[in-house]
Chain A
């Protein structure tokens, strides 16, 4: 009888114990892979948001938590749109751009997307010059220069993804995120019906890897009409100048808008990083649990197996099998158990991450092949380590002693 046949038969000797040991490994690896996968994409999203956002201050409703940043404009809480005018008309230095947003869910082609209302800069920019002669004493640089129609190149609407603001946008125009466009096969110039209103697709936005890919952007006032709650917004993204932020711009905005929560993106990033760290720690805790529970389960299963099958082991050795052969049978069995558990855990964990990631962390999650190696290595290593001592015990059995016992 060949080694692999012996291993195969050995595996199915105690099915119920095999199943529970396998389940422990499988579930443990599933949870770890899932957490690692979501954490990775969440951290990546934070970095990408920081890199591409440009905005560095957010004005949110008081009740919104920092952890809700990724759904900051989908939390259902509102602040009055007049906050935009208050900011634009204020004498605060260092406000480079303002981007108010209002979001609502819409269904397109049977799929759910987000319709986000944005306010073109041309509709509030002029108010920044309503503070009289004081504006001339502001230092040159960030936050003082806008665009001049005619003198500047015509604004590219696709710059929205980078600058967070758009110069002009008609009430029947929409800008479509990359995922929405590819999912619905949209092209520029096509018409689109959203919540019963017809829009013209002005531009398809480039892929950003952020939640913006699943959004359709329209004029804020049009979205407000569809939303039906009057002149409200969910958040204002503010691009503030570094120097002024360090001089307390956030506190000044807080004083101007005491009814709102004003936070920096850095605070949000820190909050998100804390969540990621928590998830990472959870992953470590699960790893310890799987080592303890899964390892002891496998060791117990193997010890019991060796004890119950000592007659067969003794017979095998009496027939000429050496210790290394016996050791190899049990270790190969453990390796197989660990490898299958690792692969199964990776597959289940990845499916969980891809399905639950967007709901839990608000970020799109993709499979990570590297985690498969990691999962198999952990799982197989654990199974081998837990089985080593029972296998060694089996390999050291004295055939005469085992026959005498029986």
Chain B
């Protein structure tokens, strides 16, 4: 079967470690915002109309770089502490990542603040954004340099996170390309699920080649052994694995699994005795 969603196929770069995503990305020239805690903007008119946040996001996406957005409200010791960790740390990762600073009370930054819904979040807050717009890590309140590296994830992870954050279902198909086609194919059951008008607009299919070194970590997180053959993983927002289907999977199996996961308490222990909800 031809894959109509080949745009989603993950051509993972040679990214081997937890900061794999960073290693595989090209660097672009730094151009950082002016509104930092220690260096507030002196000329608001000089800023882009959309605010620094959105501009920096667009620039980072174009450059295929990660972006660390530093949200802050007021200058205090906590803000300074996070800032003092972030600035030099990202500076050392400049080849793969950029950063920007957003003061949430700045009217020009309202679109950015509203986009992430952080106007009532604990401040300061650092969000790590993948080039595709997925938030790969949030650091509320405090930050250590070692934590920053965990924000770099594999391309497959980025795609799954982005879909989940857009409140979509994800069907991750792990399998090697067919020998004669030399490209990844969508399993038939997954294709039928995606073709169902009810699920089509809210489903993202991600194809993943288990031979890609960059995805080893992701497969390990998912507890998938690439040697056992093709596996389909169904994920649902906000961020959970609903089920794993080794071998072939039918649309009915996927629909049934999805229904089971919502219709009742998954472990059967929910309800009156104070543990878990009656769904």
Contacts and interface: CB of A to CB of B under 8 A. Distances in A.
Interface stretch (B41-49, B76-84, B174-182, B215-223): B215-223
Interface residues of A, number: 57
Interface stretch (A104-112, A145-153, A336-344): A145-153
Interface string B150-178: 11011001001100110111000000000
Contacts of A136: 157, 160, 218, 221-222, 235, 239, 241
Interface stretch (A32-40, A127-135, A302-310): A127-135
Interface stretch (B32-40, B94-102, B198-206): B198-206
Given A129-B135, A129-B237, A146-B238, A162 B117 contact: no
Given A86-B122, A136-B160, A142 B276 contact: yes
Given A131-B138, A132-B161, A142 B239 contact: no
Given A51-B272, A82-B120, A151 B140 contact: no
B236 A148 contact: yes
A167 to B, nearest CB: 11
B140 A89 contact: yes
A218 interface: no
B89 interface: no
Interface string B236-279: 11111111000000000000001001100111011011111111
B117 A133 contact: no
Nearest to B156: A133
B137 interface: yes
Given A137-B221, A137-B223, A131 B239 contact: yes
Contact of A149 (B135, B167, B261, B278): B167
Contacts of B262: 145, 147, 152
A68 interface: no
A97 B279 CA distance: 11
Nearest to B269: A242
A378 interface: no
Nearest to A84: B120
A59 B198 CA distance: 38
B275 A56 contact: yes
Interface stretch (A118-126, A272-280, A315-323): A118-126
Contacts of A146: 167, 236-238
Nearest to A139: B241
Nearest to B168: A148
Interface residues of B, number: 61
Given A231-B120, A242-B276, A266-B274, A125 B237 contact: yes
A50 interface: yes
B127 A239 contact: no
A213 interface: no
Nearest to B152: A132
Contacts of A84: 120
Nearest to B153: A133
A136 B243 CA distance: 11
Choose among B127, B165, B218, B238 the residue with the greatest number of A CB atoms under 10 Å from its CB. Answer: B238
A148 B237 contact: yes
A128 B277 contact: no
B136 interface: yes
Nearest to B141: A86
A132 B235 CA distance: 14
12 contacts: A56-B275, A56-B276, A130-B165, A132-B128, A133-B154, A140-B242, A142-B265, A148-B169, A148-B237, A240-B275, A242-B275, A245-B275
Q: Which 3 A-B pairs have CB atoms at the shortest separation, nearest pair first? A: A144-B240, A242-B275, A129-B239
Interface of B: 117-118, 120-123, 127-128, 135-138, 140-141, 150-151, 153-154, 157, 160-161, 164-165, 167-169, 198-199, 201-203, 217-218, 221-223, 235-243, 258, 261-262, 265-267, 269-270, 272-279
